[in-house]
């Protein structure tokens, strides 16, 4: 049960894929990010292959991200040690130039897939086949994508709760709300370790996103918001609207990805992406969608979730005996799956 999970060692699933960066964030300038309390430096080789290394030189523990690249290697700014993408020290400019055994960095497996750069922080074998299917995120042929990354000063599970319970959209996000639906319902489904959270709002008015994509403001329809969750905190949202009583295929879709990577116990990198298959070349539309996303995530979700984290202090949410509501079912289920996975990982290590 999640409420017996103490924060700390069991808090992060290490043997899992997380998003480390959007592909265009990585280049020839070293980028430092902290994942699961570990400092990581990332860059691309001259051939464009992404690299992730511990961002701490094994000599004096200075961040390598303060240094510079030479061909495919990164050079420490402090004493010039040079490291290859596999973490091996390739140059010690001191003394006889011998490489001390301790002079190596942990190289983290990366996979560039589904339009994102994924990192594996654990000790088990890193199999990219275990990355959940985000094909549509990487399908540049079919979709235009607007994406961003936001830093949230809150535990990642609080953001998962937010995303698996989209009933909050009706209260917190005026721009994403489906107005005046005649009927609403919610279902939860678990298949293996994947959890689905389904919201339907029938015969309602389109939200601003659907209007931007072309749905007429005054025309009611049946809308859906179906969130898929995979451990530890990777979510794909199928949002769409169809004519009243019509099947989903007949309508309009606006899928989005919500990919969380814990930074620390109380902070998270939130990678988000909106996709669309209409007006793909319309840059002005992209900017309107970006503004809508930033309004919802940065101006509406972020302050609420950060205030929630502050109100919790150091306490784990479930340990406080929260009132449970009907649409919490999926979030509770996901917390349970995650707790089981965390317990299994801890017992193996």
Residues that bind its own copies (CB under 8 A): 39, 55-56, 58-63, 66, 76-81, 89, 92, 94-96, 100-103, 158, 161, 165, 167-168, 170-172, 186, 303-304, 307-308, 311-312, 317, 320-328
CA-based R_g, the chain, Å = 22
Residue 325 Cβ vs its own copies, minimum distance, rounded to whole Å: 5
Cβ atoms within 10 Å of 223's Cβ, excluding its own: 25
Is residue 239 a contact partner of residue 255, using CB atoms and an 8 Å limit? Answer: yes
Shorter beta-carbon distance to its own copies: residue 143 or 229: 229
DSSP state of 6: P
Q: Which residue number, 94 or 151, has a Cβ lying nearer to its own copies? A: 94
- Of the two residues 55 and 205, which places its CB atom closer to its own copies in the complex? 55
**Shortest spacing between CB 151 and its own copies, in angstroms:** 17
Comparing CB distances to its own copies, the nearer of 69 and 158 is: 158
- What is the nearest approach in angstroms of its own copies to the Cβ of residue 19? 23
The Cβ of residue 121 has, within 10 Å, a number of other Cβ atoms equal to 24
Minimum CB distance to its own copies smaller for 92 or for 278? 92
How far is it, in rounded angstroms, from Cα 324 to Cα 301?
Answer: 20
In degrees and rounded to multiples of 5, residue 35 shows phi and psi of -125, 130
DSSP for 103-140?
A: -B-PBPPEEEETTEEEEE-SSS---GGGS---HHHH-T
Quick one: 297 exposed, middle or buried, by C-beta within 10 A (0-12, 13-18, 19+)? buried
- Minimal distance, residue 158 CB to its own copies, in Å: 8
What single-letter DSSP state applies at residue 88?
A: B
Contact indicator for 19, 116 with CB cutoff of 8 Å: yes
Nearer to its own copies, 101 or 249 (CB): 101
**Which of 71/311 has CB closer to its own copies?**
311
Q: How many helices (H) and strands (E) does the chain have?
A: 7, 18
Whether residue 52 contacts residue 107, with contact meaning beta carbons closer than 8 Å, is answered with yes
């Amino acid at each position: 049960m999640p409420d017996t999970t103490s924060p700390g060692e069991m808090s992060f699933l290490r043997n899992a894929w997380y998003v480390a960066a959007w592909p265009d964030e990585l280049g020839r300038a070293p980028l430092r990010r902290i994942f699961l309390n570990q400092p990581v430096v990332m860059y691309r080789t001259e051939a464009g292959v992404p690299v992730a290394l511990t961002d701490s030189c094994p000599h004096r523990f200075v961040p390598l991200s303060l240094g510079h690249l030479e061909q495919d290697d990164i050079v420490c700014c402090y004493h010039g040690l040079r490291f290859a993408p596999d973490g091996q020290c390739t140059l010690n400019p001191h003394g006889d130039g011998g490489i001390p055994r301790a002079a190596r960095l942990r190289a983290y497996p990366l996979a560039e897939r589904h339009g994102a750069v994924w990192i594996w922080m654990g000790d088990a074998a890193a199999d990219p086949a275990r990355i959940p299917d985000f094909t549509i995120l990487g399908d540049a042929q079919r979709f235009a994508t607007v994406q961003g990354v936001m830093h949230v000063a809150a535990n990642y599970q609080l953001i998962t709760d937010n995303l698996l319970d989209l009933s909050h959209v009706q209260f917190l996000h005026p721009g994403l709300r489906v107005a005046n639906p005649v009927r609403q319902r919610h279902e939860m489904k678990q298949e293996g370790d994947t959890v689905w959270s389904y919201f339907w709002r029938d015969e309602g008015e389109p939200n601003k996103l659907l209007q931007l994509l072309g749905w007429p403001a005054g025309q009611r329809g049946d809308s859906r918001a179906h969130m898929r969750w995979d451990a530890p905190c990777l979510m794909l949202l199928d949002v769409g609207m169809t004519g009243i009583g019509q099947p989903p295929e007949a309508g309009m879709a606006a899928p989005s990805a919500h990919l969380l990577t814990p930074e620390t116990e109380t902070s998270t990198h939130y990678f988000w992406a909106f996709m669309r298959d209409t007006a793909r070349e319309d840059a002005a539309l992209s900017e309107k969608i970006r503004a809508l996303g930033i309004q919802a995530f940065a101006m509406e979700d972020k302050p609420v979730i950060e205030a929630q984290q502050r109100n919790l202090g150091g306490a784990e949410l479930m340990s406080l005996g929260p009132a449970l509501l009907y649409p919490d079912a999926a979030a509770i289920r996901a917390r349970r799956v995650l707790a089981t996975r965390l317990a299994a990982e801890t017992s193996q290590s």
